[in-house]
């Protein structure tokens, strides 16, 4: 994972004044982008649970791990630091970072193994439960604080989308080698 010190800085996300040109640009605000990621990963976990072939399970597990690594990175580099300025978020963001660390550990174990190995399906199942718990807390506790803050969620969403695209391009480059 990339360090929390790299990547775009969230400083431009302080103002709540909407920029009409950005509003109409078709870009997602930060919360919409993150919710979209949450839905995608949830659907991937559901597909994994229904998958029967080893090949399909491997494809899905690779996509799950990739999506989660990118998502955690953009949250850790951009979203969480922007929210650190919001009063009353430190404890919940600390907890979210600890949850990310636990998920990264499981992801590493999954990536070192393959379907059919001992505990492979169990690791995916535990990761799914872990992520669903994390998503619920994030959407029920962190997102409402972000929405009530003075953070420009549109600008933050643009920063998240840009960094997400950069990370996915790096992953694509690594896979094609």
Contact 74, 164 (CB under 8 A): yes
Instruction: Return the pLDDT at 176.
Output: 57
Instruction: Answer for the pair 145, 88: CB distance below 8 angstroms, yes or no.
Output: yes
Do residues 83 and 152 lie in contact, with contact meaning Cβ atoms separated by under 8 Å? no
Domain range for 77: 28-175
Q: What is the pLDDT of residues 5-33, one digit of tens each?
A: 444 444 444 443 444 334 445 679 999 99
Residue 6 lies in a domain: no
Structure tokens at 18: 């909407």
Q: Assign residue 16 a region: left if phi > 0, alpha if psi is -120 to 50, beta otherwise?
A: alpha
- CB within 8 Å of 119: residues ≥ 6 apart: 113
Asked if residue 121 has pLDDT above 80, the reply is yes
pLDDT at 174: 67
pTM: 0.82
Query: Which among 147, 154, 150, 151 is positioned nearest to 22, based on CA atoms?
Result: 154
Residue 38 pLDDT: 98
The 10s digit of each residue's pLDDT in 54-101 is 999 999 999 999 999 999 999 999 999 999 999 999 999 999 999 999
Is 8 contained in some domain?
no
Identify whether 117 is part of a domain: yes
Could you read off the pLDDT of 123-169 as tens digits, one per residue? 999 999 999 999 999 999 999 999 999 999 999 999 999 999 999 99
Q: Domain total for the chain? A: 1
Confidence of residue 175 (pLDDT cuts 50, 70, 90): low
65 assigned to some structural domain: yes
């Amino acid at each position: 994972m990339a360090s929390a010190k790299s990547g775009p800085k969230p400083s431009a996300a302080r103002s709540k004044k909407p920029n009409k040109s950005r509003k109409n640009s078709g870009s997602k605000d930060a919360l919409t982008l993150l919710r979209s990621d949450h839905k995608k990963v949830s659907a991937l976990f559901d597909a994994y649970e229904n998958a029967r072939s080893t090949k399909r399970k491997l494809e899905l597990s690779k996509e799950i791990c990739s999506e989660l690594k990118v998502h955690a990175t953009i949250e850790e580099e951009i979203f969480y630091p922007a929210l650190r300025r919001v009063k009353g978020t430190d404890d919940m963001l600390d907890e979210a970072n600890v949850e990310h660390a636990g998920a990264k550990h499981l992801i590493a174990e999954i990536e070192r193994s393959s379907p059919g190995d001992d505990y492979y399906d169990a690791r995916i199942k535990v990761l799914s439960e872990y992520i669903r718990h994390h998503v619920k807390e994030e959407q029920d506790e962190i997102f409402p604080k972000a929405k009530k803050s003075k953070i420009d969620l549109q600008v933050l969403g643009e920063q998240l989308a840009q960094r997400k695209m950069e990370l996915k391009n790096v992953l694509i480059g690594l896979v094609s080698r």
